[in-house]
Structure 1
Amino acid sequence: MSEPAAAVGPRKWYSFTLSQQIVIGLVIGVFLGWWLSGLDPAAKAQWNKALVVVRDVFLHLIKVMIAPLIFASVVQGFAGTGDMKKAQRIGWKSLVYFEIVTTLALVVGLLAVNIMKPGVGVVLQLDQAQSTAGLAKPQTWDQIILHAFPTSLMDSMARNDVLQVVCFAVIFAVAVIAAGPAGKPVLDFCGSLTQVMFKFAGIIMKFAPFGVGAAIAVTVSHQGVGSLFTLAKMIFTLYGALIVFVVFVLGAVVWIAKVPLKPFAKAVREPFTIAFATANSEAALPKAFDNMEKVGVPRGIVGFVLPAGYSFNLDGSTLYLAVASVFVAQAAETTTGIHFSIGAQITMMLMLMLTSKGVAAVPRASFVVLVAALESFGLPTAGAFLILGIDALLDMARTSVNVLGNCLASVVVARWEGEFDDAKAAAYAATPDPKP
């Protein structure tokens, strides 16, 4: 039982919650990065080396807990119900929701890029020898299906392959249910491991303001404040489209599913901020796990929906692919005069609906899928490399929306199952933020 609000007492003016500390770290990181961008290359390199160490220590500690947390949560959540039909319902409801929302993300991206036309007037240097030989190839639909089933659990965990860990954990949970009393010790172990990993995450999150500040400082120092004005229309189009998607599409989902907005906003703000600053979905996953359970989503649903969403519900990434691919088509038309019709754009979007589903398993993720789409439709890959110059800024936005969309998906599926705890959500919203 949580401590009553009256017992917490007034917080001293200099004592900040973890959320406030992360935002402060973000702001300080931006100013530090701006200051570093004006230094001479040698001095900036020394500062960046130190900041990269701080950033990567945080990310390494976050990543090390991903596989055991997902495995234990999925097994404990699914096997704890003892109901196979319920597990199947959660699975197909999640996939139906993922497909609908990511399709709407593509539609919003397509509308935004055709209205704003950020690529019109941009001239591509087609004589540049841009090589894509070093990039991994995106997976076809049959490879995506095969990839979901691991040949070695240890290898999957070592690579933090979320989809493979989830697939193994679901099948393992089925075996635990089938084992009956013999599976009880395994179930108890997974429950204990989940609790320990949440405590582990709580310890690591105390370091989050430093990790977030270092991550954003490195990004700004490399890109420079001037990068905000380079290809500004492209940046504005993507950020604007993501805002429209969040407000109107995800907002409609919140209204239809009767998601309690205040508790949900409180639960998602820290994962969202961490994802934005680090441009890394994995960094936000442990906090998202913890907060979604606190806000009233059962552990079994959180344990399946959040990890599965990392492969099948990348709302921000799919919207980015729509904007970026048509941006290149518009720039190519400016350069070559060859028009890329609406029909061709829709065909490309249909292809991206499939290829984006495997984006989490592809090195250099969205950029690789973008290059593949451009090559498939005969568009110059030089446009993709032009975008690569501002990709760090774009990645921050699309990654944070990915995390937001997956957190919302867990609440929607819980509501769909009739298991969302409104009383728990109300209590969570009324509880003051604890001091870290």
Structure 2
Amino acid sequence: MTSTKLTNYILGAMLLGILVGYLVNRHGADSGFSVQYVTYISILTDVFLRLIKMIIAPLVFATMAVGIARMGDASTIGRVGLKTFAWFISMSTVSLLLGLVMVNLLHPGVGLDLALPDVAASSSINKGGLNLPDFVKHIFPTSIMDAMAKNEILQIVVFSVFFGVAAASFGERAAEFIRNLDMLSHIMLKITTAVMKFAPVAVFAAVSSVVAENGLSILLTYGKFMFSFYAAIVVLWIVIIAISAIFLKKRALKLAWMLREPALLAFTTASSEAAYPLTLEQLERFGCKNKIASFVLPVGYSFNLDGSMMYCTFAAIFIAQVYGIEMSTSQQLLMLLVLMVTSKGIAGVPRASLVVIAATLSQFHLPEAGILLILGVDHFLDMARSATNVLGNGMATAVISKWEGELS
């Protein structure tokens, strides 16, 4: 299936999913059919995401270990790592700051003036795992098998770095093994090609189940908030591409176009993980050398979540606006700094953005129960966040490749 055909099929599946979901919700809610429909149709989405997750651990390990082994000495790895994290921190700051600017310009929560909830009210979202000691310990795996079984990308990255550096130290003696490991990555990409043929079915199931369960009314109820956030995401896309164009020139637009398919897949499934194999494949087609792409991309999945960063500041200030709570510029900038630190520990935490927001609200005396206001439409917002994360990581990989002279 060609790239253009798959993109068209995914778009068609999304539109058909909205229509079918609407019909099921409208005509099957009273009889209970809509509940049964959601239960069973969601199986298709779950199966697809499981198939993708089945691929990720061996693919990340194989590509990253091979890339680092071919990088050579530790100084090269350190140099690439330093450039990578400098870019990630810079773009995270831009995303958080842009979220603050857009929510203050668009005022999506102003005028609702909801009564403050009971001080004891809680969103029931587990904020555990965000403290620094636990996060630092979480980075290092106790067992690579356990890390792979749980798809802990950050832990797999750490093991792959050690493995790649050790393999490189053996020189020619390890050359044959590295070639075999490289073949493993190509085999996993071949499996990805087969799995992706199932993507339109999974997209149809994902979209139709959400609409069948909630109806189209949920989109109208939160219309202003969702429209404002999507407008902010569009601005963020323009900013990411514009900053990347400083280094990639006109090729930044070409890369953005090439990333449309993995971004669309991430959008429709609300999972950037689902797009990882395709993103890696498109980056290599663009001209990024495997040894750089296989290092930057998986690290980016833990530390460079541009869409999620913007959502953190946008949603937090939205909740303050809804309850009529005024926050000074200095308080908002302090919140930005807090989010910058706490968000770096969200890898592997379920509903990561919501967890970070919940943890931050209490620190600024904002009602944590405000999270409940956005839970209903979080899936639709997560779609935009996931697609943006794919674009941000793709651009980051290309820029680092350019800096290293490894972009053909």
In the TM superposition, what are the counterparts of 1:79-228 in structure 2 within 5 Å? 79-122=69-112, 123-124=114-115, 126-127=117-118, 130-133=121-124, 135-228=126-219
Matched, 1:35 2:23: yes
In the TM superposition, what are the counterparts of 1:21-420 in structure 2 within 5 Å? 21-41=9-29, 42-122=32-112, 123-124=114-115, 126-127=117-118, 130-133=121-124, 135-258=126-249, 260-261=251-252, 263-332=254-323, 334=324, 338-420=325-407
Amino acid at match of 2:122: S
Q: Kindly provide the CA deviation profile for residues 137-189 of structure 1, in whole angstroms up to 9, marking residues without a partner as x.
A: 24233433332111110111111111110111011100101123342343122
Partner of 2:170, secondary structure, is helix
User: Quick check: 1:138–1:369 contact (8 Å CA) kept in 2?
Assistant: no
Are residues 35 and 128 of structure 1, via their aligned partners in 2, closer, same or farther at CA, if it must alter by over 3 Å? farther
Alpha-carbon shift at residue 394 of structure 1 (Å): 0.9
Q: Kindly provide the CA deviation profile for residues 178-231 of structure 1, in whole angstroms up to 9, marking residues without a partner as x.
A: 123342343122111011001010010111111111111112222321111212
Higher mean displacement: 48-57 or 141-150: 141-150
Task: Give the Cα–Cα distance (whole angstroms) in 2 for the partners of residues 261 and 98 of structure 1.
Answer: 17
Partner of 1:427: none
After TM superposition, the runs of 4+ consecutive aligned structure 1 residues lying more than 4 A away are: none
Task: Give the Cα–Cα distance (whole angstroms) in 1 for the partners of residues 230 and 353 of structure 2.
Answer: 16
Amino acid at match of 1:74: M
Amino acid at match of 1:351: V
Task: Give the Cα–Cα distance (whole angstroms) in 1 for the partners of residues 89 and 118 of structure 2.
Answer: 39
Task: Give the Cα–Cα distance (whole angstroms) in 1 for the partners of residues 129 and 227 of structure 2.
Answer: 27
User: Quick check: 2:241–2:256 contact (8 Å CA) kept in 1?
Assistant: no
Task: Give the Cα–Cα distance (whole angstroms) in 1 for the partners of residues 256 and 126 of structure 2.
Answer: 37
Task: Give the Cα–Cα distance (whole angstroms) in 1 for the partners of residues 220 and 238 of structure 2.
Answer: 25
Gaps in structure 1 of 5+ consecutive residues: 1-10, 422-436
User: Quick check: 1:136–1:363 contact (8 Å CA) kept in 2?
Assistant: no
Amino acid at match of 2:182: G
Q: Kindly provide the CA deviation profile for residues 41-66 of structure 1, in whole angstroms up to 9, marking residues without a partner as x.
A: 31112222231111111111001000
Gaps in structure 2 of 5+ consecutive residues: none
Provide TM-score, normalisation by structure 2.
0.94
Partner of 2:175, secondary structure, is helix
Alpha-carbon shift at residue 20 of structure 1 (Å): 1.6
Alpha-carbon shift at residue 134 of structure 1 (Å): 5.5
Partner of 2:259, secondary structure, is helix
Are residues 17 and 175 of structure 1, via their aligned partners in 2, closer, same or farther at CA, if it must alter by over 3 Å? same
Q: Kindly provide the CA deviation profile for residues 61-112 of structure 1, in whole angstroms up to 9, marking residues without a partner as x.
A: 0010000000000011110233332222221111000000110001110001
User: Quick check: 2:63–2:291 contact (8 Å CA) kept in 1?
Assistant: yes
Partner of 2:341, secondary structure, is helix
RMSD after superposition = 1.9
Alpha-carbon shift at residue 31 of structure 1 (Å): 1.5
User: Quick check: 2:127–2:358 contact (8 Å CA) kept in 1?
Assistant: no
User: Quick check: 1:55–1:215 contact (8 Å CA) kept in 2?
Assistant: yes
Task: Give the Cα–Cα distance (whole angstroms) in 2 for the partners of residues 79 and 133 of structure 1.
Answer: 45
Task: Give the Cα–Cα distance (whole angstroms) in 2 for the partners of residues 133 and 19 of structure 1.
Answer: 38
Partner of 1:360, secondary structure, is coil
User: Quick check: 2:312–2:357 contact (8 Å CA) kept in 1?
Assistant: yes
Partner of 1:7: none
User: Quick check: 1:141–1:354 contact (8 Å CA) kept in 2?
Assistant: no
Alpha-carbon shift at residue 240 of structure 1 (Å): 0.9
Task: Give the Cα–Cα distance (whole angstroms) in 1 for the partners of residues 27 and 360 of structure 2.
Answer: 39
Alpha-carbon shift at residue 133 of structure 1 (Å): 4.9
Alpha-carbon shift at residue 271 of structure 1 (Å): 0.6
Amino acid at match of 1:85: S
User: Quick check: 2:17–2:207 contact (8 Å CA) kept in 1?
Assistant: yes
Higher mean displacement: 63-72 or 239-248: 239-248
Task: Give the Cα–Cα distance (whole angstroms) in 2 for the partners of residues 110 and 77 of structure 1.
Answer: 37
Alpha-carbon shift at residue 265 of structure 1 (Å): 3.0
Are residues 103 and 48 of structure 1, via their aligned partners in 2, closer, same or farther at CA, if it must alter by over 3 Å? same
